Chain A
Amino acid sequence: MARPAVGRRLVALAATGCVLALAACSAPRAAAPNPTGAADRVHGVVTVLAAASLTEVFGGLAARFEKLHPDVTITESFGGSSALAAQVVQGAPADLLATADQATMKTVTDAGLADGAPIVFATNTLTLVVPPSNPARVTTIADLAKPGVKVALCDPTVPCGSAALRLLAAEKLTVTPVTLEMDVKAVLTKVELDEVDAGLVYLTDAQAAGDKVKRLAVPGAADVVNRYPVAVLAGSTNKTAARAFERFILSTTGLGALTAAGFGAP
């Protein structure tokens, strides 16, 4: 009795697979001509890899873009820029890459995996964040060097970590953090959970966290600027739509959203 049941299930599974495969293949062709003109005829799936610090802005921009172009589905994956760049170098199937600094993007362009030169679309600076209760009574960045103050930073191999190193060097501070996290959101989480006394994160992440953290201004932070480049990837299977989304990021709408989130103009 068990065998026919398994057989039916297998057939159903196979059928589902066929339907999915058909949908994947026929979706582009099935897209109806767009009445608003040739420029808008974009469709299919765009896979975007973006720095963790872009989570909120890109999430919002993707939703707006999908509303403008109902035939497009944007799939986004956020993480440490270095990890994303490494994924691209290892052949991850993606259409668009946005990193939090130019050094990370360079590993992708050097490997010949970017389609055209990357375009800088935003800048970001660091800020000092502490838990709302400020348990270690941190008031300035110099307090990070005090013994007993638990500090979380990004690992120097990711952009927010290299920026933190540059900022601390500019302030002539020697800080021994308790942890070096793999992306900026992980630092922010440790501060939000009140497990560390302070962290250096991007201004935009601090802003996105709202009152879950307390922001403290760092006068020298304005001099340590990360530039965010975006590039369509050479391996993209949907360059038309990827370019359209890239243009959307660089449009007044996109730049407006970035500015509202605390990013600087390119």
Chain B
Amino acid sequence: MRRSAGARRRGPAVAVWVIAAVALGLLVLPLLGILLSAPWPQLPALLVAPETVQALGLSVLTGVISTALCLVLGIPLAVVLARSVSWPVVPRRLLRAAVTIPLVLPPVVGGLALLLLLGRNGVLGRYLALLGVTVPFTTGAVVIAQTFVAMPFLVFAVEGALRGADRRVELAAASLGASPWQVFRTVTVPLVAPGIAAGAVLCFARALGEFGATITFAGSYPGVTRTLPIASYLASQTDLDQSIALALVLLVVSVAVLLGLRDRWLPGVRG
């Protein structure tokens, strides 16, 4: 007891600082590598190259749509997840596991799973094909792949906010005669707005970086399905400068998005 009290007064041990520095280096130094090896003189030309502009445009468009989809679908899911604490163990854990799956599944596997579900011979896809709808190799497929991988970021951010929110406000609204939908729309959602914003930003950043599920499910065709990460990977095989330029664009957009987040919006930080 005495030692832990002392530790609290002194702050983390030196070893903790050292290991934390190593961890931070592992996260940050590779990015420094991109900055140091970037072809700065040629960069302006590479950045306005048609392939770059096209891939960036596609990435931003699909990222925005995916984020919107995550918001529409994810907020209700987060509400259900937050309320599931009162459920029996088995369904509660199953629900949580289902929401977590895209976080732990290799995206390529997710893409293959989507192909087997929505491909024209897929479990659902074959019926869509009868209606004349084909999903793979379309921009829509990119959006679905991104929504799949990004959804958990939104759900967990919103769920965290909901758990921290004061439920009595909702109960008060209900007691004043608001319908459950009115409570959700006019009380619950505004109450957790910072959590929603944080989730949306993380969701967008994840969607922007999506690679594995996209290439497997949507393929790679310029202007239709070839997003910035895919264009960057493809370029890395033949033209490293072009690849680094594309990577740099991704990096700048992602960092800008994350810096735009205020501290209190990040999951796990309250203040």
Contacts and interface: CB of A to CB of B under 8 A. Distances in A.
Q: Do A and B come from one complex?
A: yes
A115 B221 CA distance: 37
Nearest to B125: A195
Interface string B160-203: 00000000000000000000000000000000000000000000
A86 B221 CA distance: 21
Interface in A170-226: 177-182, 190, 193-196
A150 B237 contact: no
Interface string B202-228: 000000000000010011111011100
B236 A193 contact: no
Contacts of B42: none
B63 interface: no
Interface stretch (A13-21, A49-57, A151-159, A246-254): A151-159
B228 to A, nearest CB: 16
B119 interface: yes
Q: Is the interface of B mostly helix, strand, loop or mixed?
A: loop
A82 B238 contact: yes
A80 interface: yes
B158 to A, nearest CB: 35
A159 to B, nearest CB: 11
Nearest to B239: A157
A194 B121 contact: yes
Given A178-B221, A190-B219, A195 B119 contact: yes
B77 interface: no
A120 interface: no
Given A179-B225, A182-B220, A155 B234 contact: yes
Contact of A86 (B115, B119, B121, B237): B237
Given A179-B137, A193-B121, A195-B136, A86 B219 contact: no
Given A152-B219, A178-B137, A80 B237 contact: yes
Given A86-B238, A155-B234, A195-B136, A179 B220 contact: yes
A86 B240 contact: yes
A193 B237 contact: no
Interface string B90-128: 000000000000000000000000010001110000000
A182 B134 CA distance: 22
A113 interface: no
B247 to A, nearest CB: 14
B137 A82 contact: no
Interface in B207-266: 215, 218-222, 224-226, 233-234, 236-238, 240
Contacts of B240: 86, 90
A182 B221 CA distance: 11
Contacts of A194: 119-121
B220 A195 contact: no
A83 interface: yes
A111 to B, nearest CB: 12
Interface residues of A, number: 22
Residue among A80, A90, A190 with max Cβ neighbours from chain B (10 Å): A190
Given A179-B137, A193-B115, A82 B220 contact: no
Contacts of B121: 193-195
Nearest to A150: B137
A150 B236 CA distance: 27
A194 B134 CA distance: 12
Contacts of B215: 182
A195 B216 CA distance: 11
Interface in B40-73: none
A55 B221 CA distance: 25
A158 B237 contact: yes
Contacts of A90: 240
A217 B115 CA distance: 29
Interface in A55-92: 80, 82-83, 85-86, 90
Contact of B237 (A82, A177, A178): A82
* B225, B234, B237, B238 — most chain A CB neighbours (10 Å): B237
Residue among B115, B220, B226, B236 with the most chain A CB within 10 A? B220
Given A177-B221, A179-B137, A179-B221, A195 B237 contact: no
A180 to B, nearest CB: 5
Contacts of B136: 195
Interface string A107-135: 00000000000000000000000000000
Q: Which of A158, A177, A193, A195 has most chain B Cβ within 10 Å? A: A195
Given A152-B219, A193-B115, A86 B120 contact: no
Given A90-B240, A180-B226, A182-B233, 5 more contacts: A83-B237, A86-B236, A152-B219, A178-B224, A194-B121
Those 8 A-B pairs whose CB atoms lie nearest each other, nearest first: A179-B219, A82-B237, A178-B137, A157-B238, A83-B237, A86-B237, A195-B119, A194-B121
9 contacts: A157-B234, A157-B238, A179-B137, A180-B219, A180-B221, A193-B115, A194-B121, A195-B115, A195-B120
